[in-house]
Amino acid sequence: MELEDLRRLRRARDVMDRDYAEPLDVPALARVALMSPGHFSRSFRSAFGETPYSYLMTRRIERAKALLRRGDLSVTEVCFAVGCTSLGSFSSRFTELVGESPSAYRARDHRDQGIPACIAKIYTRPVRNGEAGVRGRGLA
């Protein structure tokens, strides 16, 4: 993959990181990357190991986890705050990536246990079922 294509893909990924709560779709992200939607999707997956949609949903679930830990918003409010438009789809995806429902996650005790943020981020990033064995608990 060419350096210019990687730069364009990173630009689209940055848009997802920054504007995760906005309605984003592949055609809009492909325009940011100056690529056709098909080429963008294939290139994104090749460069980052997951589809643009999967990456965006992972970002949204990460943000949702942070909002749910605060405990001052309902699950429905969190769903809409992170850019999801369907509570059912949000709950299903959250449960798939986190391993428990948003309500159960919100109800748990999330007090700081003295783990450095850089390490906590590794272990709290949502993991798809197939990735759990690959990533394991190492730092690799």
What confidence tens digit (pLDDT) does each residue in 66-90 have?
999 988 999 999 999 999 999 999 9
The amino acid occupying position 128 is R
pTM: 0.76
- From CA 129, how far away is CA 109, in angstroms rounded? 24
Q: Are 73 and 38 in contact (CB under 8 A)?
A: no
pLDDT given for residue 119 in this prediction: 73
pLDDT, average across residues 98-125: 79
pLDDT, average across residues 20-27: 93
